[in-house]
Every structure is written in structure tokens, then in C-alpha cells.
Amino acid sequence: MSLGGKTATFSVSSPDRIPDAYSIPTANNAPLNTLVVSNPVTITGISTPVAIEASKGDFSLDNGTTWVTTGTISAGGTFLARGMSSTEPNSNTTSAVISVGNVARAFQITTGAITPDAFTIAGKNDVPFAQYAVSDLITFTGNTIAAPVSVSNGQISINNGTTWTTSASVPAGQSFRVRVMAASAGATNATATVTAGGGGLTRSAQFIARTEATDTTPTAFTLQESTNVESSTQVLSEILTPTGYNTATSIKVVGAEMSINNGAWTAADSTISPGQTVQLRMTSSANVYTAKDATLTIGGVSTTWHTQTKGRYMVSGTVPAQAGYAILSFRLNEEIGGVNPGSSNLNVLRMVYAENGTANTTINMAGQNSGWWGGNNGQRTATTQGTDAVMNLMVIPTTKISANFPQMPTVTPGASFQFYVDANMISTSGNGAYAMIAFARGTPGGAYSEVTRMHLQLKLVP
């Protein structure tokens, strides 16, 4: 344009609506059927805001939280693309298409591999009957995303977890264990089959648990002795749980009855299964300090249960030539030792005077009382009466020499004798208790003259 000899140029430029080249990075190893978001994309090269739209999927602008399919974007602005991954694994691709100022780009989403490489599971041997066998940890390789796993005839747990299921999704790089219930018989396999993967490609492996060989022989066992028990009394053994066998086995008892798993008492042969208990019972000997045994046999392994009644004490010798009578009594220390006698608590059952091996005088102690002893039914408790106390218990027959010494079995001079005391010493202090036999001569109801005396110290029965 010219005016008055001057020239000027007037130009009009249109705004730049075409962005610089851009791309949306591909999302690889995407999980299946999941909304996947791209990395941020920045738009440059435009001089004015331009339209942005999504023909597949959607987008958000400038890290916003609102997802739309149309909008405008300015130079320097950013967007995130979003699309749904395929339902099929192993590099299946879907796309979200975003157009900026009529320049379209695809956001490609490629699914990961869910099928692992071939794998094996080490089996377990010598598994106890009817118990779960658990595999070692297994870690897949080859899958890039979580692998679906199913187990037939078994269960799966992820990463040493405590939850067991028949199917699970095992994330890439994580581990799992398998378990199977072992058989109820010896040397028998139980098999769990593990299947992993999908999309037309799966891998399988078996976990095999083999039970231990059948064993009907338990580990050697014992029953604690039952000693110092009352005569003619029902006695119970400890409760025994045999171990070391895995199959029901034979059990029998001789000399007693048994109760299996708190069942009925029986002396008949039977069977016992792993984990069950057995207890024995018998009636103790009618005699004091007498053993009575029973034999328990389980699966060919035997033990003896020993019982023994409370104690018998004895002194023996020859009846003096001058003697005509025997005095039988209990004393606590008396002149023996001459010290504080302490006290004694004992159960006196009977005293027996025998000549030439034949019991000719048996004196039951129930209800007998004399001196400082107290109680009845054979239970005697002595208490201290000074430093030279005589705790004297004498029994009363029909024959007597004097009021002071009424117990007078007749004796045979020169005969061999045994004086028994059947008693249980419960507790003592001081020098303990003694049984005494004194031989005397004289006339019943008249004068008395002691010939000799012997003492038998009573001690605790082992």
C-alpha cells in the first residue's frame, strides 16, 4: 500500500492450532479388564487453546480428577489418557484414542502374561496318617501379572498365609504353598493337582504326599509302680498314652482290668488306636507288704505294673527257756535313747506272734486304745509326753498276768519265733516308733517277772 510516496505492508497471520508431534507411552503388562491410566503428556506448539477429545476411552486435564471425552487444552497443558485393558491375557492390546487439534494418537494397553513357565512341586514322604501335608514354597517364573491358580483335591495359601482356599490369584513374584490331606493307610499316596494360567495356555503340576509305612508297634513304655497301698483295695494305674505307632493295634492285660479312652473296664483283649489312652486297675493283695503285678501288652510291647501293699516289720529269735508269756506292744522311744521322742503318725493293722513258722496269735488293732494313743480303726497318733515318754499301745486278750501287762500270749520255751507288725508309718519325728516284744514269766493275775525284751524300729516303707 502506497500513500504520499510512502509504502507500507499489512499482513494478517492465523493462529497455530496444530501441536508439535506428541505420543502417549504404551502401558505394558496391564492387568486384565482394568482401567489403565497413561503417563502425563504435555502439549506444545500451539498458540491458542485447541479442542481435545477421546474417541475411545477418556482423559483428564492437568492432573485433574475429572475424566471427560471432550475439552480444550492450551500450550503447556497436560493430559492423562485412560482406557480399559483386554479381558484376554498374554499381550492382548486395546487402545484409547486422543485427538488434540485434529492430531490423533493412540494410547495402547497391552495385557501381561498370566501363564507361568512349567513348574514342579516336591512331594512329601513319611507323612502321618490323615493329616495335612504341606509343600515347600513355590515361586512362579514367566508370568508378568497375577496368575490364577486352582487346586483339585487340595488347597493353596499365598506367601505362608494362614488362609487356605481351592483357588487364588498369585501375584507375579510372590510364593504359595499347597496342602493335601494324607491317606488313612500306610504307604499310600494322596495327590493334589495345581493348575495355573489362562487365555488358552495353562501349566499343571502335582503335589504327592505319601504316608509312612504301617506301624503297629508302639515305643517302649512303662507304668509307674503303685507302692505303699492299702491291702485289699482297688488301685488305679497312671493314665498311659502310647506313642510311636500309627495303626490300631492289639492290647491285652493279665492280672488286672483296663479302660481304653475312659471306656468300660474289661479284662478282655481289645485294640487301641493312636492318640487313645489306657488305664489299669486291680485289687491289691490282702496281705501287707505284698506285691501284686499285672502285665500290659500293646502291639507286642509289654510292661509290668507293680503294686505293693503297706509294710510288714519283723523281729525273730528263740523263746528264752524261762519264758511263759509274750507281751506285744508299741512304744515311742521309751528308755531307748532317752531323748525327746517327738511324735509319730502311723496306721497299725495287726500284730502276729508265730512260733516255728505257724501263726498262733493274730491281733487286729482296730479299736484298740491305751496309754497316750488315740483314735480307732487302727489309726494311731502319738504325741510327746516329756523327754522319756512311753507311748504304749497294748492289746487285750482274755489271759493276763497283771493289770499293767494284760497282753499275754503263751509261748514255748526254746521255740523259734517271729513277731510281725503290719503297719504303715505315715510320718515321724525324733527317734521314731518301736514295736516291742517282751518275754515274761509269772502267773496270770499274779506276780510278773520280765525275762527279756526286744525292740523293732518302724521306718517309712519305701
190 in Cβ contact with 181 (< 8 Å) = yes
Query: How many C-beta neighbours within 10 Å does residue 95 have?
Result: 18
Q: What is the DSSP letter of 374?
A: B
Query: So what's the pLDDT on residue 439?
Result: 83
Query: How many C-beta neighbours within 10 Å does residue 332 have?
Result: 30
Q: With CA atoms as reference, report the closest residue to 393 among 413, 411, 376.
A: 376
Q: What is the mean pLDDT of residues 326-331?
A: 70
- Whether the per-residue pLDDT at 398 is higher than 80: the answer is no
- Scored b (16 or more CB within 10 A) or e, 127-166 reads bebeeebbbeebebebbbbbbbbbbeebbbbbeeeeebee
Give per-residue pLDDT as tens, 99-110.
999 899 999 999
Domain 312-458 has CATH 2.60.40: yes
> What CATH code is assigned to 124-211?
2.60.40.2410
What distance in Å separates the CA atoms of residue 291 and residue 119, rounded to the nearest whole number? Answer: 67
Query: What confidence category does residue 433 fall into, taking pLDDT thresholds of 50, 70 and 90?
Result: low
Query: So what's the pLDDT on residue 239?
Result: 97
- Whether the per-residue pLDDT at 73 is higher than 60: the answer is yes
Query: What confidence category does residue 165 fall into, taking pLDDT thresholds of 50, 70 and 90?
Result: very high
CATH class of 27-111: mainly beta
Give per-residue pLDDT as tens, 230-254.
888 999 999 999 999 999 999 999 9
3-state secondary structure at position 329: strand
Q: Where do the domains of the chain lie? A: 27-111, 124-211, 226-309, 312-458
For the chain, what percent of residues have pLDDT higher than 90?
60
What distance in Å separates the CA atoms of residue 250 and residue 184, rounded to the nearest whole number? Answer: 18
Helices (H) and strands (E) in the chain, counts: 0, 37
Q: With CA atoms as reference, report the closest residue to 287 among 211, 232, 241, 341.
A: 232
CATH topology identical between 27-111 and 124-211: yes
What distance in Å separates the CA atoms of residue 330 and residue 177, rounded to the nearest whole number? Answer: 76
User: Among 142-156, 202-216, 362-376, which is the least confidently predicted range?
Assistant: 362-376
- Whether the per-residue pLDDT at 387 is higher than 50: the answer is no
- Whether the per-residue pLDDT at 347 is higher than 80: the answer is no
Q: What is the pTM of this model?
A: 0.57
Q: Across the chain, what does the average pLDDT equal? A: 83
CATH class of 226-309: mainly beta
What does each C-alpha distance from 118 to 124, 140, 144, 196 come to in angstroms?
20, 8, 14, 10
Q: With CA atoms as reference, report the closest residue to 91 among 28, 146, 37.
A: 28
